[in-house]
Amino acid sequence: MKYEFKLTEEKEQPVLSVREKTSVENLPQVIGKAYSDIIQYLGELGESPVEAPFCAYYNLDMENLDVEMGFPVSKKLPGKDHIQPNKIPAGKQVSCMYKGPYKEMEAPYNAMTEWMNDKGYEPTGISYEYYYNSPEEVPEDELLTKIVFPVK
């Protein structure tokens, strides 16, 4: 499959997020709860997300994933309980839009890693996925996910 990679320079992006450690098996439930809690809290604040929800992956340990789930927001907002203000740092990013099942995302990740190596870009160690729809809304082969690697 052919993927299109983009290198962009991005500004710092404020977010409201929840960071947890979980196994890959529990990830869908953890993500669902975090998104629901954040959306409810944004409603209390009278705010709305400015972009699709994301997950940041700080490691790839499938038994003990370190993940941050959240929404980009227009400005720094106060936290509440387990929901915290954070930011996606400014800098260069390599991104790719992927259409298809989550379970087949290894292919675009591998292709992105190869492309970055060929171009001399070094990932910072964190990857982001932005989810533009969900398995509750569309068939698996219609899922749209933007994969982002901040790079040095």
Q: Say if residues 108 and 96 touch (Cβ distance below 8 Å).
A: yes
Is the pLDDT score of 1 beyond 80?
no
What is the CATH code for 5-150?
3.20.80.10
Give which of 15, 7, 20 is closest to 149, Cα–Cα.
7
Q: Could you tell me what percent of the chain has a pLDDT over 90?
A: 94
CA 5 to CA 59: how far, in whole Å?
22
Q: Nearest-5° angle of CA 1, CA 70, CA 47?
A: 125
For 51-88, how does the pLDDT look when each residue is reduced to its tens digit (9 = 90+)?
Answer: 999 999 999 888 999 999 999 999 999 999 999 999 99
Strand order across the beta sheet in which 91-99 lies: 5-10, 91-99, 144-150, 127-131, 54-57, 65-72, 13-22, 84-88
Which residues are within 8 A (CB) of 54 and not within 5 positions of it... i.e. 6 or more apart? 15, 69, 70, 71, 72, 88, 128, 129, 130, 131
The one-character DSSP state at 132 is: S
Contact 64, 21 (CB under 8 A): yes
> What pLDDT score does 38 carry?
98
Averaged pLDDT score across all residues of the chain: 96
| Rounded Cα–Cα distance for residues 118 and 96 (Å) | 16
Structure confidence at residue 11 as a pLDDT band (50, 70, 90): very high
Contact 126, 150 (CB under 8 A): yes
The pLDDT of residue 60 = 84
83-99 tens-digit pLDDT: 999 999 999 999 999 99
Domain ranges across the chain: 5-150
